[in-house]
Amino acid sequence: MIKHKPVIGVATSTTPMPNTEFFACTTGTRAIKSLVEFSDCIPLQIPSIVDTNDCEELINRVDGVMLTGGRANIEPHHFGGKPFPDDETIDPDRDKVVLSIIPACIKAGKPILGICRGIQEINVALGGTLHYRIHLLADKNDHRMAQGDHILTDDIFALRHKIELPLGGYLNKLIGQDSYVVNSLHGQGIDKVGSGLTVEAMSEDGVIEAIRVTAHPNFAIGVQWHAEYIPNKIQHELSWKLFREFGKAARDYS
């Protein structure tokens, strides 16, 4: 009997094409490669311009969803926040589509993996709120990516700080440790936790680093760090196990 690989819908961002009036629906190749290599799944990109009325039917065609990071932040009108400055990068198409996909995915009991912006999307979709800029809060550290003219990719994605994993939580059991070290490339972060979510990890300065959809029947996890960056067993075992378990949940669902 031939076993078919599960198909994973991958969120895309709306990206302006240089020197034109056109846009593209894009996803970072590293996230897709990690999905293929470590989850053993087939990626299918979800255009950020899809009709939201079709989201439930779209979800019926895939075995899970991965919500990747993105340069634009979720617009604050989705969670009652203060308006962005005029120069803030936004992606209203992605906001609209992904915030429609998440409830449909949860309703269908399909696996979800959210990364960076993805954890924030899960939180907002379930009624949570976000801090606009973590580094502007008096009791928080700067969680943004490393800055500079000659910063290399490995410097940007370097491990930056420790996270605490609550005893008995999903991630604590998954890795068998009560703390781990992760990278950090985000400006926004979770403020109020959405309905039906369990906090799975916190940074040492109190920033929420992972959440789980509590009543989900298999796998529905969002993490604030970029788990797609070299998530192999040797270099980052926790991220490797996340991709492995996501793939396993998608195969079980399929």
CA 31 to chain centre: 10
**What is the pLDDT averaged over residues 6-25?**
93
Active site residue 41: no
Of 75, 200, 209, 228, which is the active-site residue? 228
Which of 234, 229, 89, 235 lies closest to 156, judged by CA? Answer: 229
Banded model confidence at residue 57, pLDDT cuts 50, 70, 90 = very high
Q: Note the pLDDT tens digit of each residue in 205-252.
A: 999 999 999 999 999 999 999 999 989 999 999 999 999 999 999 999
Number of CB atoms found within 10 A of residue 127's CB: 14
Q: Note the pLDDT tens digit of each residue in 66-79.
A: 999 999 999 999 99
Active site residue 105: no
Provide the 3-class DSSP secondary structure of residue 180: strand
**For residue 150, pLDDT beyond 80:** no
**How is residue 49 written in tokens?**
């311009």
**How is residue 87 written in tokens?**
């120069």
| Structural element, H or E, at residue 179 | strand 179-182
The secondary structure of 93-141, three-state, reads HHHHHHHHHHHHHHHHCCCEEEECHHHHHHHHHCCCCEECCHHHCCCCC
**What is the pLDDT averaged over residues 170-188?**
97
pLDDT, mean over the chain: 95
Q: Distance between CA atoms of 13 and 28, rounded to whole angstroms?
A: 9
**For residue 16, pLDDT beyond 90:** no
Of 131, 143, 216, 226, which is the active-site residue? 226
**For residue 2, pLDDT beyond 70:** no
pLDDT reported for residue 230: 87
Domain ranges of the chain: 7-253
**What is the pLDDT averaged over residues 116-141?**
96
Write down the architecture of domain 7-253 according to CATH.
3-Layer(aba) Sandwich (3.40)
Asked if residues 39 and 24 have their Cβ atoms less than 8 Å apart, the reply is no
Which of 229, 226, 194 lies closest to 209, judged by CA? Answer: 226
**What is the pLDDT averaged over residues 131-152?**
88
Q: Distance between CA atoms of 12 and 20, rounded to whole angstroms?
A: 20
**For residue 41, pLDDT beyond 60:** yes
pLDDT reported for residue 187: 92
Q: Distance between CA atoms of 13 and 117, rounded to whole angstroms?
A: 11
**What is the pLDDT averaged over residues 36-40?**
97
pLDDT reported for residue 1: 53
Active site residue 236: no
Of 55, 105, 116, 236, which is the active-site residue? 116
